Chains A and B, each alone.
Chain A
Amino acid sequence: MSRIGVFVCHCGENIARTVDTAAVAQECGKLPGVIHSVDYKYMCSDPGQLMVKQAIAEHKLTGVVVAACSPHMHEKTFRRATAGAGLNPFLCEMANVREHCSWIHESRTAATEKAIDATRMIVEKVKRNAPLSPIHIPVTRRALVIGGGIAGIQAALDIADGGREVVLVEKEPSIGGHMSQLSETFPTLDCSQCILTPRMVEAFQHPRIKLYTYSEVESVDGYIGNFKVTIRKKARSVDEANCNGCGACQAVCPNKKIPSEFDAGLGKRSAIYVPFPQAVPNIPVIDRERCSYFRAKAKGSTKVVCGKCAEACGKGAVHFDQQDTLVTEDVGAIVVATGYRLYDIGKDQDSELLKGYGEYGYGTVPDVIDGMQFERLASASGPTAGKILRPSDGKEPTSVVFLQCIGSRDPSKGIEYCSKICCMYVAKHTMLYKHKVHHGQATVFYMDIRAAGKGYDEFTRRAIEEDGARYVRGRVSRLYRDGEVIKILGFDTLSGEPIEMDADMVVLATAMRPQAGMAELAQKLSVSYDKHGFINEAHPKLRPVETNTAGVFVAGACQSPRDIPDSVAMASATASKILGLLSNEQLEREPTVARVDESTCSACFHCERVCAYGAVEHKDIRDRSGNLVRVVASVNKGVCQGCGTCLATCPSKSLELDGFTDAQIHAAIMAF
C-alpha cells in the first residue's frame, strides 16, 4: 500500500496569490494512499526541505509529491532531500502548480481546482514509480578537438595542460585557422601571427597533444565518455616522418601560378606547397587537383609527367602513391571548433537562402575585394609584403570605401544575424590603411556601429577621431567601374542626401558563416544546428558551450559569429568543462532511459532507425545451449538520452521509459 506525502508550496505569493494552497493540501490529503498533506510558504527553503525529510521518517512515506514550481527548477532539490531521508530519489515527483497554473490563471477557484487536479495526477503517477539507480559508465579520459584554429588550439592546450591527452584534428595542411591570415588584431593592433604562432608551436610540441593535420573526422560512434572517432588522414603525398621542411620541392615545382588560399586568392603558390611560412607542421602537401603528375595520371596517361619535387627531395619524402588512411581514436569528450568562412557574395551561392550581392560587382568589378583580402594586403607576410596596393594595377589607392553589413542583418538576402566582428575589423582596416597610406581617405558606409566590448568603442572612436575615417550612415545601392575609379552611389540617411563618390578600392565586410559541411558534421555528432549551419548550444545563457549531446562541446565561430577574445574564452570554458568531466573514472547518468521488453519485441528496429543518438543495438537471444533463438532491440543506457522517440514509434509498445512508464502515464491521465 502506498504511503504518499503531499507538500504544497506557496512560493511566497507566486502560487498562494492565485491558488488556495491550504485547500489543495486538504483535498489531496483525502486521496487514497495519501497519508500526509501539508502546505508551506517556501518548500525549497531549508525548513521546507526538513519538513519533507521529517515526514518521510515519521510517516514511513513510500512516495513524495511536491506541488510547487516546474521540475526544471527544483526537482533536483527535492530528490536530494528525499534521498537524504533514505528514500530512493526517483520516488519523489513535482506537480507544477506555478508555471502551469498560478502564473497563467486569474480565477482563484478555477486555479485551485486545476492545482488539485495536477497534484492528484502526480500522486497517482508516484504510486507507480519504481526506485531507480543512477547509471554508471566508464570514461575514456582523453578528448578530441575538431578544428585547429585559435579556438581549437586554445581548447587543446588548456585540456593538455590540465593533464589529459588531446587529439587535435585540422582539415587544412597547417593549424592556425583564420587568425593566421590576419594582419593586426583589434582593439590593440598587435600582430596576429606574433601572438598566434607561439600557441601553434606549443600545441605542436605538447607531449599530450596528438596532432592530425590535413585530416577530417570520418565518423563518430559511441557516447559521452566513450566516443570512437574515425579520422581520415588525407593523402599528403609527403612522408611526414621523413620531410625536414627544407622547401626544395616547392622551389622546383613548375606550377607556381596557383591562387593561394592563404592569401585569399591575391598571392600565388606552387602545386606542392606549405600554406604559409610559419605553418605547423612545416610539411608540404601536394594539391592533387593542380599537380601535373596527378593531372596526367587522372587523364589516364601512363607516362610519368614532371615528378620534379620527388627528384629534388633529398629525403625521398615525396610519395605520389600515398593513400588516405583511416585511424581510430578513443576519446571521452569532443570539442567542435570548426570556425567560419566568409559569405561569398558575388559567386554562385551554395544555399537557397543566400541571394548574393550582384550590385556590388564582387568578382566582376576589379578592386572590389572582401575583408580577408584586405587583411592579406595589409599583412607583412602577404602578397604585397604589407603595402596596400590595388590588386588590378598595383597602384596605391588614395580613397578606399568600406561597406559594412554585407550579407549580414539583411533577411531578404538570407542572413538576418549580425556578423558581430565586422564593425570592429572595418575600424581596424581604416586605421591600418591610414597608418600605411598617410594621405589616403577611408570612408565607411555603416548601418550601426556595434562596438560593445572592452576597449572596442574607444577603438572605433580612435579610427574616426585620430585616424580621420569618414563614417557615413547609409547603404550603397550600386557601384561600377568608371575608367580608373569605382563610382559609388549611396545615401546618407543622417543628412538625407544622396551620395555619389569615387573610390580607388572598395572593401566589402562580408558576413561570417559557418564552415561548409557543418550539417554533415553535426549529424555525425548528433548535435543540433540552426538553418545557417551554426551549432546550437544546449542553453543560450546557462549552458553556452555544451551541445544537446552529452560529451560534445562547442567553441568559437562555429556556434555563432565570434571574435578572437570570445572564441578563446569559449575554448577555455570547454576545456574546463571537459577537465571536470574527465576527472572521474566513471560517469553517473540519470536513469530515465528507455528499456526494451524483450519478450514482446518484434525486431522491426524502427526504434533503431529513429534514434537520433544511435542508442539502439541488436541483441541476440540464445537458448541454454547457446543457439540463437531470435534477435531483439536493446537500448544502450549510456547513450540513451531518454527522449522517448523510440517509444512512440514502437508498433508493439515494447519500449518503456523508466520513470515515465505507460502504467505511470496512464494512471496520471485516468486520475484527471
Chain B
Amino acid sequence: MNELRQLARKLLADKTVGVVIGYEEGQGAVTRPSFATSPEQAEKLVFDARCVQNLASYLSPRRSTVRSLGKPAVVVKACDAKALAGLIREAQVKREDVVVISVACGGVLADPRSGKALSEAMVADRCRDCDGAHTSLADHKVGQAKAPAFGSPKVDARLAELQAMTAPQRFAFFKSVFSECTRCNVCREVCPMCFCARCMADKSEPQWIESSPHLRGNFAWHMLRAMHLAGRCVGCNECERACPAGIPLSLITRKMQKVVSERFGYSPSDDPNVPAPTGAFRLDDAQEFIR
C-alpha cells in the first residue's frame, strides 16, 4: 500500500500526471474510485481484495470531467488492463497519454459489501481463471504478481447447463431473466468498452430498439449489447456486478467470448496491437456459412 502511495505521490509531485485514478475507502466496508490530484491526496489510496471496480472505464472519452484533470495515471488489475488495451486498440486512448500502474492482485471479492475475507467461496468468478500476472502495458508494477488459485469459473458450469437445455427451455430462461430488466442502462454506463458518444440504442430515426422496459425491447437491447461487445468484451464483469436487477449478464458475455474464441481465435488480450475480430479485415475468416 505504501509503495502505491509513494509512487502516486511522486507522479503527482513531479507533475508527470495530473490525476491518479485509484481506490479509496468508501462508506461502510467498500472501497470506491478515487481521483487524487495532489501529492497529499495520494495518501488516501488503498488497494486490496475489495477493489472490484474497473478503473479503465474512467479513461473513456465519455468521462470528460476526468479528462479535464490532466494526464491520468491509472491503477489496473490484470483484468482492467485488457479493457485499457481495448480502449487503446479502438483509438479512444493514446498509449502515451496514460501512465499505467499495475497492481498485484490475488483476486477480488464477488461482493465487497459482505465484509468477508477473500476465500474460495467469496472470490469474484472472473478471478478463477486469471493468471494474475502484471500486464505488459505496465509503466510501474506494484507488488509481487501471484496467480489466484480458486478453481474454474462457475459460469462455465452454468453455461453447460444452458447448453444442455432445448431451445424453447433456453428461451424461457432468458425470458424470465430479461423480464426483470428495468432498462436503467447501468450495464452500459459501467462498461469500459461502451464509449460511444451516442449509443445506437438511443437512436430514434429509425428506432431499432424499443426503449421502454418491455420484454421485446429488453431482448433487443441485451442481444444487441452482446453483438456490440462480441470480440470486444474483456470479461471484467462490471455489468453483472452493477446490475440492480441481478441479471446474470456474464452468461451472455462469457458465451460470446467462447464463440469468438472458437470462430476467430481471439481472446481478450492486454496487447493493444492484437486486432479484435470486429475491427479487422481478414481474408481467411471462416465462411462455410455462405452457401
Contact = CB atoms under 8 A, between A and B. Distances in A.
A106 interface: no
Contact of B197 (A645, A652, A667): A652
Contacts of B280: 609-610
A604 B198 contact: no
B90 A652 contact: no
A532 to B, nearest CB: 14
Contact of A603 (B91, B275, B279): B91
Contact of B206 (A602, A612, A667): A667
A663 B197 contact: no
B206 A605 contact: no
Interface in B219-243: 228
B283 A651 contact: no
A610 B228 contact: no
A519 B284 CA distance: 12
Contacts of B197: 600-602, 652
Contact of A523 (B195, B200, B279, B283): B283
Contacts of A610: 278-281
A612 B281 contact: yes
B209 to A, nearest CB: 11
B203 interface: yes
Nearest to B199: A652
Given A600-B198, A651-B196, A606 B90 contact: yes
In the complex, which of the residues B91, B203, B278 has the most CB atoms of chain A within 10 Å of its own CB atom?
B91
Contacts of B205: 662-663
A651 B61 CA distance: 15
Contacts of B206: 662-663, 666-667
A649 interface: yes
A611 interface: yes
Given A602-B197, A662-B206, A663-B206, A649 B91 contact: no
Interface string A512-530: 0000000100010000000
A41 interface: no
Contacts of A604: 90-92, 195, 279
Contacts of B278: 606, 610, 649
Nearest to A609: B279
A652 B279 contact: no
A479 B254 CA distance: 58
A605 B200 contact: no
A611 B90 CA distance: 15
Contacts of A652: 196-200
A653 interface: yes
Nearest to B196: A652
For the residues of A in contact with B, the DSSP-based class is loop
B174 interface: no
B208 interface: yes
Nearest to A606: B279
A602 B203 contact: no
Contacts of A601: 197
A653 B197 CA distance: 11
B258 to A, nearest CB: 21
A391 B208 CA distance: 74
A330 to B, nearest CB: 26
Contacts of B208: 653, 662, 666
Contacts of A611: 281
Contacts of B281: 609-612, 645
Contacts of B198: 599-600, 652, 654
A662 to B, nearest CB: 6
A645 B285 CA distance: 14
Contacts of A662: 203, 205-206, 208
A628 to B, nearest CB: 14
Contacts of A612: 281
Contact of A609 (B61, B195, B203, B275): B275
A183 to B, nearest CB: 39
A645 to B, nearest CB: 8
Contacts of A645: 281
A243 to B, nearest CB: 42
A605 B90 contact: yes
Interface in B258-285: 275, 278-281, 283
Nearest to A603: B91
Interface in A606-653: 606, 609-612, 645, 649, 651-653
Contacts of A653: 200, 203, 208
Contacts of B228: 651
B59 to A, nearest CB: 14
A96 B220 CA distance: 30
B205 to A, nearest CB: 6
Nearest to B282: A610
Contacts of A666: 206, 208
A45 to B, nearest CB: 37
A601 B91 CA distance: 12
Contacts of A603: 91-92
Interface string B59-74: 0010000000000000
A111 B203 CA distance: 36
Contacts of A609: 275, 279-281
A111 B94 CA distance: 57
Given A652-B196, A662-B206, A663-B206, A602 B279 contact: no
Interface string A655-669: 000000011001100
Contact of B61 (A600, A602, A649): A602
A74 to B, nearest CB: 27
Contacts of A606: 90, 278-279
A569 B201 CA distance: 55
A613 B198 CA distance: 27
A605 B196 contact: no
Interface in A406-465: none
A603 B89 CA distance: 11
A605 B199 contact: no
B54 to A, nearest CB: 18
Contacts of A663: 205-206
A386 B278 CA distance: 60
A602 B62 CA distance: 10
A651 B200 contact: yes
B18 to A, nearest CB: 20
B195 A602 contact: yes
A604 B206 CA distance: 23
A667 B196 CA distance: 25
Contacts of A651: 196, 200, 228
Given A602-B196, A666-B208, A649 B279 contact: yes
A601 B196 CA distance: 8
9 contacts: A600-B198, A602-B196, A605-B90, A609-B281, A610-B280, A611-B281, A649-B278, A652-B198, A662-B203
Interface of B: 61, 90-92, 195-200, 203, 205-206, 208, 228, 275, 278-281, 283
Given A651-B228, A666-B206, 10 more contacts: A523-B283, A602-B61, A602-B195, A605-B91, A609-B279, A609-B281, A610-B278, A610-B281, A611-B281, A645-B281
Closest 5 pairs between A and B when the two form their complex, measured CB to CB: A666-B206, A652-B196, A606-B279, A604-B90, A653-B200
